[in-house]
Amino acid sequence: MITLHGFAASNYYNLVKHVLLYKELPFQENLLYGGSEELLAISPAGKVPVITTNEGLNLSESSVICDYLEETYPDIALYPENSSERAVVRQIMKVAELYFELPSRRLIPYAFSGTEIPESIKDEVRQALDVGVIAISRLCQFSPWVAGDKFTMADIYVYYVNIVASFGASQLDWDVPAEIHGMKTWNDSMSQLAITQNIEADRQANMPEFMQKVTAQIQADNAK
Ligand SMILES: N[C@@H](CCC(=O)N[C@@H](CS)C(=O)NCC(=O)O)C(=O)O
């Protein structure tokens, strides 16, 4: 059986979990946090999620895991058959990750530690997010799904990436999804899916323990 390693407060962990549930693949979860030796042994960059495949291969990087799951278990498909359409779906995923999620992620440590965000960092993140907002607006259709009339991997990817993007933008008092035509309605539809709701319940259950770890890490860093 596939093992999904990581923790439920992680948006990347949850996007891979959503793919596994959507494809109706049996899997077990193994709770691992960043920085643990067990994680470093299976994840080259020490990031979650990781899956251990049925062949015993440990695989990290969410988009790579998504591709692996689609290629190995194509029955419940999440990419279009046509290679150009498939490339567009992957383009949306990549753009959302690079220009939406990653810049916003820079603000998380400040929010967790309650430290004021330096103006220079805010400016950098605003500039990067500006690119992301324009790119997502140009690429995504939200009619009703991200890439058109079919639900694809891009819906799952953008939804979980957007959780961090919205959180980051809220630190800048900026309602990013409101600027992207169709995104809020689509986001509401995504959040009402049964799979999303189950994952959200698990996320909430994990949050207190995750925040304890974060607080302990901040205290340890401050004591250095
Ligand atoms: N590029 C990675 C990013 C994954 C990532 O940033 N995971 C975070 C949790 S959301 C993590 O492992 N944090 C722990 C750490 O950095 O120590 C992916 O696509 O899977």
Provide the residue-wise pLDDT of the chain in tens; the chain has 224 residues. Answer: 999 999 999 999 999 999 999 999 999 999 999 989 999 999 999 999 999 999 999 999 999 999 999 999 999 999 999 999 999 999 999 999 999 899 999 998 888 888 899 999 999 999 999 999 999 999 999 999 999 999 999 999 999 999 888 888 888 888 888 889 999 999 999 999 999 999 999 999 999 999 999 988 888 888 88
pLDDT of residue 21: 98
| 183-192 helix and 153-171 helix, angle to the nearest 10 degrees | 110
- Nearest Cα residue to 54 out of 32, 39, 72: 72
pLDDT of residue 69: 98
Locate the ligand 1 atom nearest the alpha carbon of residue 35 and give its number.
17
Asked if 48 and 3 touch (Cβ cutoff 8 Å), the reply is no
Tokens 């169709």 correspond to what residue? 182
With a 6 Å cutoff on the Cβ, whether 67 touches ligand 1 is no
pLDDT of residue 194: 98
**For ligand 1, mutation pick of 47, 93, 167 (most atoms within 8 Å of CB):** 47
With a 6 Å cutoff on the Cβ, whether 14 touches ligand 1 is no
pLDDT of residue 218: 82
pLDDT of residue 113: 86
- Nearest Cα residue to 177 out of 168, 145, 153: 168
User: Would you give the end-to-end CA distance of the chain in angstroms?
Assistant: 42
**For ligand 1, mutation pick of 7, 12, 19 (most atoms within 8 Å of CB):** 12
pLDDT of residue 221: 81
Question: Which domains, ranges and CATH numbers included, belong to the chain?
Answer: 2-77+194-223 (3.40.30.10), 83-192 (1.20.1050.10)
- Cα-to-centroid distance, 123 and ligand 1 (Å): 24
- Cα-to-centroid distance, 48 and ligand 1 (Å): 5
- Residue having the nearest C-alpha atom to atom 11 of ligand 1: 47
